[in-house]
């Protein structure tokens, strides 16, 4: 049997369907384990980077400053004055002068603290803007797109076996994620706790999945086919796993955003 283009139409014999199923299962397990190992390695890399940043920041906080030097000078001058002029310690004017010096020291110390606080906040900003966290979040989206793509291939195989046709609507995740990242779409928004990249992937797949079923039922009158219930069940499985992958991505993205 040939199609309108003259190409020989694929025959979905029982043997061919079994072959497709076995190939899909093998690929599903192999690609799934490979992607999960990539995610594991990335998580280890993220942990190492976070520990490095924290250690570096602690060292920055523990750097020496001039507070102790100012206190030491004050105490030294006070003791020297007391030893040289012990009788003036009870003088009201001397007491007033000493209190004024204490106030001056206090102001100087607080200014030193505020300056160090500002420097620490600037250091946090520099670490946050270093770019490594953004790159890691982009990689999270890519890894999750790989997982979704594995689920798409599984669904496509089941669809082809049941309908005996390739899906008439193309489902994709990897290409969409890549295009969005290239366009500068943010992988994660800390304020809304959402991923604009992953959100677009989910919306696109939900829309295309609905379109696929409408066209399938219309073109092949598939709603009267006994396999329709099986295909509906497979769609529900796909949508459930899509939701789980999306939720997992948000947990990872929020962790990177919070601790970086």
> How big is the chain by its Cα radius of gyration, in Å?
33
Cα angle at 161 between 207 and 167, to 5 degrees? 30
Question: Which of 89-103, 115-129, 168-182 is modeled with the greatest confidence?
Answer: 168-182
Where in 72-131 does DSSP place strands (E)? none
pLDDT tier at 3, thresholds 50, 70, 90: very low
pLDDT at 130: 64
pLDDT at 250: 96
C-alpha 46/C-alpha 35 separation (Å) is 16
In this prediction, residues 46-53 reach a mean pLDDT of 84
The DSSP letter of residue 63 is S
In this prediction, residues 213-238 reach a mean pLDDT of 86
Model-level pTM? 0.75
- At residue 54, φ and ψ (nearest 5 deg) are -65, -45
C-alpha 63/C-alpha 59 separation (Å) is 6
Show the 3-state SS of 22-51: HHHHHHHHHHHHHHHHHHHHHHHHHHHHHH
C-alpha 79: how far from chain center? 58
pLDDT tier at 232, thresholds 50, 70, 90: very high
C-alpha 224: how far from chain center? 44
Judge whether 35 and 150 are in contact, CB under 8 Å.
Answer: yes
In this prediction, residues 111-115 reach a mean pLDDT of 85
Mean confidence (pLDDT) of the chain: 87
The string of pLDDT tens digits covering residues 204-220 is 999 999 999 999 888 87
Neighbours of 138 (CB within 10 A): 20
The string of pLDDT tens digits covering residues 57-83 is 888 877 887 778 888 888 888 788 777
- At residue 41, φ and ψ (nearest 5 deg) are -65, -40
pLDDT at 128: 66
| Pair of tokens at residue 16 | 């061919």
| Pair of tokens at residue 85 | 């002029």
Per-domain boundaries in the chain: 131-259
pLDDT at 36: 95
CA atoms within 13 A on the CB side of 147: 24
Neighbours of 147 (CB within 10 A): 22
pLDDT at 6: 45
């Amino acid at each position: 049997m040939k199609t309108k283009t003259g190409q020989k139409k694929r025959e979905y014999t029982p043997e061919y369907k079994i072959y497709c199923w076995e190939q899909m299962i093998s690929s599903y397990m192999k690609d799934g384990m490979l992607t999960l190992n990539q995610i594991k390695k990335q998580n280890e890399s993220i942990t190492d980077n976070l520990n490095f940043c924290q250690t570096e920041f602690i060292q920055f906080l523990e750097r020496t400053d001039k507070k102790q030097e100012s206190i030491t000078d004050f105490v030294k001058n006070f003791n020297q004055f007391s030893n040289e002029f012990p009788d003036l310690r009870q003088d009201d004017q001397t007491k007033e002068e000493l209190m004024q010096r204490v106030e001056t020291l206090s102001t100087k110390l607080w200014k030193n603290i505020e300056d160090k606080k500002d420097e620490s906040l600037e250091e946090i900003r520099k670490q946050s803007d270093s770019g490594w966290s953004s790159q890691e979040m982009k990689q999270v989206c890519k890894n999750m797109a790989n997982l979704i793509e594995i689920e798409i291939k599984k669904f496509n195989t089941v669809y082809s076996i049941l309908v005996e046709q390739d899906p008439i609507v193309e489902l994709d995740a990897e290409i969409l994620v890549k295009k969005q990242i290239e366009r500068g779409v943010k992988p994660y928004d800390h304020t809304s706790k959402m991923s604009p990249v992953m959100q677009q992937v989910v919306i696109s797949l939900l829309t295309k999945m609905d379109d696929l079923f409408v066209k399938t039922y219309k073109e092949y009158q598939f709603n009267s086919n006994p396999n329709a219930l099986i295909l509906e069940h497979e769609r529900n499985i796909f949508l459930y796993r899509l939701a789980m992958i999306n939720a997992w991505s948000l947990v990872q993205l929020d962790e990177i955003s919070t601790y970086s």
